[in-house]
Every structure is written in C-alpha cells, then in structure tokens.
Amino acid sequence: MLKGKIALITGGSRGIGRAIALAMAGQGADVAILYGANEQAAGETCEKITQMGRNALACRCDVSSLEQVKEAVSQVTKELGAIDILVNCAGITRDGLAMTMKESDFDAVLDTNLKGSFHTIKCCYGGFLKKKAGRIINISSVSGIMGNAGQSNYSASKAGVIGLTKSIARELAPRGICCNAIAPGFIATDMTAELGDQNALMGMIPMKRMGTPEDVAALAVFLASEGAGYITGEVIRVDGGIAI
Ligand code: NDP
C-alpha cells in the first residue's frame, strides 16, 4: 500500500509510533523516526525496519524545538528522500489537578504535543507543496474530544491538535494534500502502564479491552494510502467505543 513512499514518524521509538513505523515499513515505505531520548528503543525500531528490507533512519530531536525539527527534516530528506507521509505521534503527559498543576507542566505538554506537531508540519509544508502530494496524520486523543479530569494540559493539547488538523486540512486541500487526526482511547503502551483501577477502566470501555498500538497503526496505514485520498480534516476515534 505504501511502496516507494518515505514516512517521517515522530515518537517512533516506542508505543504507538513504533507500531505505525513498523506497519508502514511492512507496506513498503522507507521510514524515519524522531525520538526524544531513548536511543536504544529507537535503534530497535530501525533494526526491525531494516529486517523488513526497508531503509530506516532515527534522529534524536526534541519536537518542541523548531530548530531541531528543521535540522531533522533536512537530514531525513537528504538521507532518505522527499517526505510523503508525516505522522505526529510524539507525546507526553504531566497529569494533575489544574489547581496544583505547575505552569511548567502545562507548558511542557503543550510544547511537545501541540507545538511539536505544528513544527513538523511547518518544516514539511514546502516539500509537500513541491510534490503536490502528501499525507499528514496527527495523533490526538479522546481526551481532546471529551476532556479528562486531571489532564487539563493534555486535553487542551489534544483538542488543539484537532483544530490544527482541520486548519491545515483546509489550507492544503486545494493542493491534494490530506491532513487527518486519529483519536485513540486507552492503548496499552508505556504511557498507560501505570493506570490504576482496571475494573473502573473496563467500565468505561464498551469493548472491554484496551487497544493495542497495532489497532491505531492499521488506521494510520489506511490514511496514508491511495484509498484515503479524498478524506481530509477528519478525526477518527480508535477507542473501543469510549467516546460514542
Ligand atoms: P509512549 O510514551 O509509549 O511513547 C512516546 C513517544 O514520544 C516516544 O517515542 C518518545 O521518545 C516520544 N517523545 C516524547 N517527547 C518527545 C519530544 N519532546 N520530542 C520527540 N519525541 C518525543 O506513548 P504512546 O505510544 O502511548 O503515545 C503516542 C501518542 O499517542 C502520544 O501523542 C499520545 O498522547 C497519544 N495517545 C496515546 C494513548 C494511549 O493510551 N497510549 C491514547 C491517546 C493518545 P523516547 O522513546 O525517546 O522517549
């Protein structure tokens, strides 16, 4: 489905980003991943991609820094070729009630989850215009749709990602470039490893199970494929029914 395409995936070292990287490589794409600090995990993702016979590149890059993103995008373009698919998956949480939440925790979450997505889009924009093609997939969250107590920073960042997605979709639609968001529910990764009461959690999920990173990756592959060429500005939940 993605033969000959070049994909750039932020947060590709672990969790959902890694699953998307592997699924896209499995469909024939060469894949670059950006990661924050976990060099070993990034190396493992790349190794799995090269084992599939695809080219892989990992760049350590803090997506909250426009300078670092600029450098990374230019390195990816030089080493793998012009980017066709951008997936914004890097994300963090710093949960707490708003009353006691530190301003620095609010800023860190907004800077990584929302501004980070803006930075990569800004740096890939010109390349997509030149190609008159491109796919942007932003990973939002059901928290950005429904809100979540204790996650005012995270929910605001993920709601922001939805606004960003719709605006970019409108800007780029005349050039045939699609921009969509995926809103996962509870997906089993490091981010959700310490969620407390499993009974309460299952009570919220109509399908009575957490999602897997592969559940999200399957949709990302479809949104990047030819068949999704008339879908833009959409927000699709992968949440087992939480936000029905
Ligand atoms: P993980 O914690 O497993 O992985 C987070 C990834 O983001 C890692 O690759 C990490 O790199 C990278 N990252 C974090 N900060 C930065 C940064 N400043 N610059 C570059 N990369 C960074 O998270 P998940 O896989 O669970 O989540 C992926 C995305 O999906 C996030 O945006 C998250 O908000 C969203 N999401 C997750 C849900 C879930 O239930 N898991 C539900 C809804 C949305 P490194 O390995 O170097 O630390």
pLDDT (tens digit per residue) in 2-41: 999 999 999 999 999 999 999 999 999 999 999 999 999 9
Per-residue pLDDT of 74-132, as tens digits, reads 999 999 999 999 999 999 999 999 999 999 999 999 999 999 999 999 999 999 999 99
Q: Give the per-residue pLDDT at 118.
A: 99
Q: Is residue 244 part of a domain?
A: no
How far is ligand 1, taken at its centre, from the CA of residue 210, in Å?
17
Residue nearest to atom 6 of ligand 1 (CA): 11
Domain count, the chain: 1
Q: How confident is the model at residue 46 (pLDDT cuts 50, 70, 90)?
A: very high
Task: Please report the pLDDT score of residue 195 as a whole number.
Answer: 82
The residues assigned a catalytic role are 154
Domain assignment present for 195: yes
Position 243 in a domain: no
Q: Strands 135-139 and 178-184, how do they pair?
A: parallel
Tell me the CA–centroid distance for residue 91 and ligand 1, in Å: 4
Q: Can you give the residue range of the structural domain that contains 76?
A: 6-238
Whether residue 196 is predicted with pLDDT greater than 90 in this model: the reply is no
How much of the chain exceeds pLDDT 90, in percent? 97
Q: Give the DSSP letter of residue 151.
A: B
- For residue 79, being part of any structural domain is answered with yes
- Cβ–ligand 1 distance for 31 under 6 Å, the answer no
Query: Helix, strand or coil for residue 198?
Result: helix
Q: List residues bridging with 132 in a β-sheet.
A: none
Residue 197 included in any domain: yes
Q: How far is the CA of 138 from the centre of ligand 1 (A)?
A: 12
Test site for ligand 1: of 31, 88, 89, most ligand atoms within 8 A of the Cβ: 89
Q: Is the distance from the beta carbon of residue 187 to the nearest atom of ligand 1 less than 6 Å?
A: yes
DSSP bridge partners of 7: 31, 85
Q: Give me 213's structure tokens.
A: 């990173």
Amino acid identity for residue 158 in this structure: K
CA–CA distance, 44 with 1 (Å, rounded to integer):
24
Q: Is 191 in the pocket of ligand 1 (CB under 6 A)?
A: yes
pLDDT-derived band at 194, boundaries 50, 70, 90: confident
pLDDT of 45 over the 90 cut: yes
Please name the residues in contact with 122: beta carbons below 8 A apart, sequence gap of 6 or more.
Answer: 66, 69
Q: Is 67 in the pocket of ligand 1 (CB under 6 A)?
A: no
Distance 204 CA to ligand 1 centre (A): 22
Q: Which DSSP category does 242 fall into?
A: T
Q: Provide the whole-model pTM.
A: 0.99
Q: Is residue 17 in a domain?
A: yes
Residue 240 near ligand 1, beta carbon < 6 Å:
no
- CA neighbor of 60 nearest in space, from 47, 49, 71: 71
Given the CA of residue 143, which atom of ligand 1 is nearest to it? 43
User: Each residue of 65-79: pLDDT tens digit?
Assistant: 999 999 999 999 999
The residue among 31, 58, 153 whose CA lies nearest residue 96 is 153
User: Is residue 1 in a domain?
Assistant: no
Give the domain CATH number at 189.
Answer: 3.40.50.720
DSSP character at residue 52 = T
Domain membership of residue 31 (yes or no) is yes
Residue 11 gets the label, from left (phi > 0), alpha (psi -120 to 50) or beta, of: left
